[in-house]
Structure 1
């Protein structure tokens, strides 16, 4: 038999096999479509969710298309609304977020023409999720707000869904306390639920614990964050039993959280190990936005552990995902800073400068977005009817409990005491602020006179060496060299060509304070003067102000500021901005 004949036979067999498979698949599809014809709207939706839970995107797509065909045939807008919504969910599974958005918008187009459709809230909730995945937080907020207006009083699960979504949005906006309040509210509702009103109660509880862990990371409370992560891991059997692959993401995000905790506490080996576990778990669910987070967190570990080339490799992978899916998350602002610092460490100053300039531009843009979004969040969500409904629900629940008069009286008394404490504290802070402003104004007016007096005092000192040191100290103050965070008694004594004991003695004698107090007072005087005079400086984050003024960390700055002035720097800035 010739080679040509052999090839011909092989091709015939392959064509026969492929045709057979295609015939079987088509036959199977026809059977499914025949079965769907007799299915109700609710049954089709149930079939879709089962396919969704097992990530069967082929069947998900088929059911969604069939719904659209049925809607066209029966001229039923409800099928159009749901069909496009299910297509949108299928696109999300495939990582096609822009396509997903197009389909959910088509769903809303038919929704707006249909008064009778009773699941409008769900459509807008899904639209909000898509915008949030893409980092389009203002559009996500619009969708959540619109959806909330359609939530029925008895729809407890949907209300919790919106609370969870808005908590998630608040966390992305760095409103950590606001987000924490939302998740704690959900846990409270779940704990009080004795009749199993809420669907997948245990899974929802674990989702909240996972989110709370993430918020504690943002607050720098790594011990609490670790406890919450561990609580989820201890209950991983609940997640593993779930047929919904999306629930597996809970564990992926918990291990990412552990990666962050260990990174910030300096245990880089554990950090990378946790992220590798998260990465391997994500292979089973394959969610693109999680890939973006993983590359970012790995880059952070590599940077802090000094492996700058590896950090850049991870950042390049993140950038490719960002370009492909048009992500616009706030956390990506740190990407450019990591790029700049890594290239700087490797000596590539030109590239580092480009990324540094890019990071400044992104930070400015994001600050504007955050300010606008936080304002809208307070205006639209906190004053929304949902809050009134939740308050009503709370009142009903409280009325059902047999509270004694004694407890009510105690509660009122405590509330009065807290209110009085708050009012007195506010008055005290206001007085301190006004007194501080007066002191600053006086100091600014007499600054030149004080400097002249200081020069005259120095000239009257007989000891020539002491005169020289005091003159150099005056120059040190004038040039604001004390803002260098590396300045200490040793470095300054070397700069002034003297020894630490002699310099310390001169400062004690002529400045009437210890060296550390002298240094901190100079820095605080500059902080107060700049905050008082420069509106732009007041827009900086507290961390940035501490950094620029030479403090080792934000805690030292806040503690020193409070000790010196009697009020917190954040309160001082707020009052100045009024």
Structure 2
């Protein structure tokens, strides 16, 4: 077709494209890409268009002399948007230069430029093909943002081909993505998506949703003075008023939107939509003559542009019916022929779009989703195996700890019982006087027997006293107290008590602690540190260690059990 197809949709696509080339990034390549792009943009931002192109051509020569592929790609990208006459040529250069290089943004943007050019020309078939190429490139190179933008563009084509529900899902997903990613969520970008949703819901007759997105879009466009999208939303509001049977309000909004659109839409594509719904409003108000005037305006625009807007095609039903009422046979034939010609164009384009979107995009997406689900299932299976193994290991550890805890509890209980029995035996033995009449047979010591007997008797008296709990004894201090020498005392304790001096004292103190804790309930309420000092130890740690070494249980456990 020679003219544009839906200039409105093209403007949305073009805007989103310009937004994308502002901010695509990925890993190390992306950092350089953004830097090159920003440098160029700053360089030409304030220049007239003609000077911009000359400046870019100089930058292109510099990039070529340095063999800087990415810098050349950035220049071609700008040139493809500024030089309308050579758009396709620059886009082709961009594609051939970057194809297979793995850049996150290129060559996808080259395909997008070509898609936009053909969209502008009204060739939806080629536009779709290039959008699909761009989508595949963005996906292969991991550019999530650009891929979603291209998916949005394909959503516009779905919307144009009448697949409203699928288009709305794409638009909703894209809006959510933009809101969750502030770096891409520029106000003008959000506005275009809000309009796409409002327009789609209007045509699917979901008036509540259409009203919601229309009102939200109007508020947002006024905030940032986005007059272009604002004018579209005013028209959408007018259509909503018409569908709500508020015809006077509809005419007012549609005329207001039409006046705004005429300021920038030279092709009058959107004007046809305004005139169509103004005509319908007058017709439903009973003003047939005025409605026919606006229907004829729609017919004129269709004939001049050959832009086929499916929703407006019943314009010819009204014109044919009117001609028949006026007995205008020539008029009827003309309108019937125009309807048949435009309908064949609409049918061919819609058939191509529906078939190729389904085959080339939806099927590919479905396969990708299937592969994703398979990978997810395999990962879940792997995770399940790992989880089961981990649970088995945890169960084994818990079981081992339980067995260890049970065994320890059992042993502690037995040791506690033995300790109580030993304590009772000591108490019984202490009630009987002990007289040493004969020394037990031990290894021969080079100490007179009478000295050994005397020292053992004194040790017995020492053990039956509480002195060891009140005073910090050393070998020398105890030998002095027992009126013997330290060498004799050490040997006698080692041979007759079977321990060294330090352990001898500790054992006495532990036996004393057991006896006191058994008899004295108030002592059990003391801290371990206080009990340790009470029985002759310097600190709680040495007391607990000595207690465990002699009894096999800790003092805290003994106190707990004896208290129960």
Using the size of structure 2 for normalisation, the TM-score is: 0.51
Name 2:368's counterpart in structure 1: 388
Distance in 1 of aligned mates of 2:295 and 2:50: 34
Match of 1:176 in 2: 164
Matches of 1:297 and 1:126, distance apart in 2:
33
Q: 1:190 to 1:183 in 2, by over 3 A?
A: same
2:252 corresponds to 1:269: no
Given the alignment, which residue of 196, 203, 218 partners 2:182?
196
Partner of 2:136: 149
What SS class does the counterpart of residue 138 from structure 2 fall into? coil
Note closer, same or farther for the CA distance 1:107–1:209 as it changes in structure 2 (3 Å cut): same
Tell me by how many angstroms 1:199 deviates.
Answer: 3.6
The one-character-per-residue Cα deviations of 1:89-141 (angstroms, maximum 9, x if unpaired) are: 457xxxxxxxx4x5322123313431357532123223323433443221221
Partner of 2:331: 351
Which residue of structure 2 lines up, in the alignment, with residue 233 of structure 1?
A: 218
Match of 1:254 among 233, 245, 265: 233
Q: In the alignment, which residue of structure 2 is the partner of 1:44?
A: 40
Query: In structure 1, what is the Cα distance between the partners aligned to 2:87 and 2:259?
Result: 31
Q: Secondary structure at the residue paired with 1:266?
A: coil
Distance 1:46 1:391 in 2: 43
Pairs aligned (count): 335
Q: Cα distance, 1:150 vs. partner?
A: 1.6
Structure 1 pair 360–61 and aligned structure 2 pair: CA distance change class (3 A):
same
Contact 1:308 1:346 in 2 (8 A): no
Q: CA 1:260–1:42 in structure 2 vs 1: closer, same or farther (change >3 Å)?
A: same
Residues 348, 365 of structure 1: alpha-carbon distance in 2 compared, 3 angstrom cutoff: same
Tell whether the 8 Å contact from 1:262 to 1:268 is kept in structure 2 after alignment: yes
User: Cα gap change, 1:347/1:225 in structure 2, threshold over 3 Å: closer, same or farther?
Assistant: farther
| Matched ranges for 1:394-405 at <5 A | none
Residue aligned with 1:114, SS: helix
Q: Post-superposition shift, 1:182?
A: 0.5
Correspondences of 1:44-443 after superposition (within 5 Å): 44-46=40-42, 50=45, 59-68=48-57, 70-71=59-60, 75=64, 86=78, 89-90=81-82, 100=84, 103-115=86-98, 118-151=105-138, 154-191=142-179, 193=180, 196-200=182-186, 202-240=187-225, 247-283=226-262, 285-286=264-265, 288=267, 289-315=269-295, 317-318=297-298, 321-322=301-302, 327-331=307-311, 333-384=313-364, 388=368
Q: Secondary structure at the match of 1:382?
A: helix
- Tell me the SS of whatever aligns to 1:327: coil
Deviation, 1:269, is 0.9
TM-superposed CA distance for 1:332, in Å, is 5.3
Q: Displacement, 1:223?
A: 2.9
* Unaligned runs of at least 5 residues, structure 2: 1-34, 380-564
Equivalence for 1:546 = none
Cα offset, 1:41, TM superposition: 5.8
1:281 and 1:233 map into 2 onto residues whose CA distance is 14
For 1:71 and 1:62, locate their aligned partners in 2 and report how far apart those are by CA, in whole Å: 14
Q: In 1, are the aligned partners of 2:241 and 2:250 still within 8 Å (CA)?
A: yes
Cα distance in 2 between the residues matched to 1:298 and 1:134: 27
2: CA distance, partners of 1:291 / 1:391:
46
- Structure with more contact order per residue of length (Cα contacts < 8 Å, sep ≥ 6): 2
Q: CA offsets, 1:156-192, max 9 Å, x none?
A: 331221122111111100001110110121133245x
The correspondence of residues 494-509 of structure 1 with structure 2, limited to 5 A, is none
CA gap 1:109/1:230 in 2 versus in 1, 3 angstroms: closer
TM-score normalised over the length of structure 1: 0.50
Cα shift at 1:44: 3.0
Separation in structure 2 between the aligned mates of residue 211 and residue 81 of structure 1, nearest angstrom: 31
Output the aligned Cα RMSD.
3.9
Write the deviation string for residues 194-233 of structure 1: whole angstroms up to 9, x where unpaired.
x624241x44444333222222222222233223212222
Contact 1:262 1:271 in 2 (8 A): yes
Matches of 2:80 and 2:254 in 1, distance apart? Answer: 30
